[in-house]
Structure 1
Amino acid sequence: MNTITSIAVFCGSSEGAKSIYRETARELGLAMYKRQTTLIYGGGNRGLMGIVAESLHSQGGRVIGVIPEALHRSDICRHSVEEQLIVVQTMHERKATMYKLADAFVALPGGIGTFEEILEVYTWLQLGYHTKPVALLNTAGFYDCLLAFLQHSVQEGFLKPDHLKALIVESDIEKLFERLTLFESRLSDKL
């Protein structure tokens, strides 16, 4: 059983087209507070990332933002977490810092940046660089197309079935937390 005290959450700096994305981001923040789980995130005040951070912070939860210097502007950063804002030089340093601080990784809906971040930590899991749980919070089927593509990759011999099964996919927050704590990394060799 894993002790999950911090989660790196990757998600959109936009709110998305459906209100359920915003509702789920709020609910995730509240669920993290209930479990006394620290949020590690990109440090922004916009979109889903701002909603998760505000939801957790407004309850008194711990929020740690990690932002590159180029984005460290008052119109982007959350002012209420300045004492917990880590400013780094580059996007690579931002991701490395977030990865180091987190016990688990969860992606909510988002765009290219979100995809890149969650797929990178998923790749690192596959390669054995870490053994932390990696998950998609599949709100309203947002990740269904990605999951179909990953399944296609299995069928075409580019992704091993047990590697695909290692990716936690849930639409329910309670089940997501349960699976994060029960996760065991027992993957076959990538090669």
Structure 2
Amino acid sequence: MNTIKTLAVFCGSSEGANPLYKETAQELGKQMHHQHVTLVYGGGNRGLMGIVAESLYSLGGRVIGVLPQALNRSDVRLHQVEERLIVVPTMHERKATMYELADAFVALPGGIGTFEEILEVYTWLQLGYHTKPVALLNIAGFYDSLLAFLEHSVQEGFLKADHFAALIVESDIGKLFEHLQCWEGKLSDKLGR
């Protein structure tokens, strides 16, 4: 059983086209408050990122933002929704700080930055750099194409089946938290040793 006290959430700085993305982001913040889980996020309070943070913060939950200096500006930080804001020099330091602070990682819908962040922590899991749960909150099938691609990678011999199975995929927030808490990080060696 994993104790999830802090959750790094990766998601879009836009709200996206489907209203369900925004509704789910709000619900995630409420569920994090109910579960007493602190949010670790990228510090920009726009789009889905801001909705999750604002939802949790408005209920009195803990929010930690990690922002690179170049993005510490008024068009990125519209207003304060963090108990604590950590400003770091670079994007690399932002990710390293978020990874260090988090007990688990989840991605909601987003763009290239979201994909890069969740796939990097998934890569680190595969390589044994950490043993923390990594999840996709697959709202309205947003990640179906990525999952099909990863499955294709398994079939083609580039991704091990147990590494693919280690990625938590859930569309229900309550079940997502159950999976995060029960997840076991025992994977075969990436290099086959």
Q: TM-score, normalised by structure 2?
A: 0.97
Q: Is the 8 A contact 1:42 1:67 kept in 2?
A: yes
Matches within 5 A, 1:59-74: 59-74=59-74
Q: CA deviation at 1:76?
A: 1.2
Map of 1:101 onto structure 2: 101
Q: Is the 8 A contact 1:43 1:78 kept in 2?
A: no
Q: CA deviation at 1:124?
A: 0.3
Q: CA deviation at 1:74?
A: 2.0
Map of 2:138 onto structure 1: 138
Q: CA deviation at 1:16?
A: 0.2
Distance change (3 Å), C-alpha of 1:75 and 1:187: same
Map of 2:20 onto structure 1: 20
Map of 2:51 onto structure 1: 51
Map of 2:180 onto structure 1: 180
Q: Is the 8 A contact 2:54 2:81 kept in 1?
A: no
Task: Provide the C-alpha distance between the structure 2 equivalents of 1:75 and 1:154, rounded to a whole number of angstroms.
Answer: 41
Q: CA deviation at 1:75?
A: 2.3
Map of 1:92 onto structure 2: 92
Q: CA deviation at 1:82?
A: 5.8
Map of 1:152 onto structure 2: 152
CA RMSD of aligned residues (A): 0.9
Q: Percent identity at matched positions?
A: 79
Task: Provide the C-alpha distance between the structure 1 equivalents of 2:64 and 2:186, rounded to a whole number of angstroms.
Answer: 30
- Deviating runs (4+, > 6 A) in structure 1? none
Q: CA deviation at 1:79?
A: 3.1
Q: TM-score, normalised by structure 1?
A: 0.98
Q: For structure 2, which runs of at least 5 residues remain unmatched after alignment? A: none
Q: For structure 1, which runs of at least 5 residues remain unmatched after alignment? A: none
Task: Provide the C-alpha distance between the structure 2 equivalents of 1:102 and 1:80, rounded to a whole number of angstroms.
Answer: 21
- The aligned amino acid for 1:188 is S
Task: Provide the C-alpha distance between the structure 1 equivalents of 2:82 and 2:168, rounded to a whole number of angstroms.
Answer: 32
Task: Provide the C-alpha distance between the structure 1 equivalents of 2:82 and 2:15, rounded to a whole number of angstroms.
Answer: 23
Q: CA deviation at 1:169?
A: 0.1
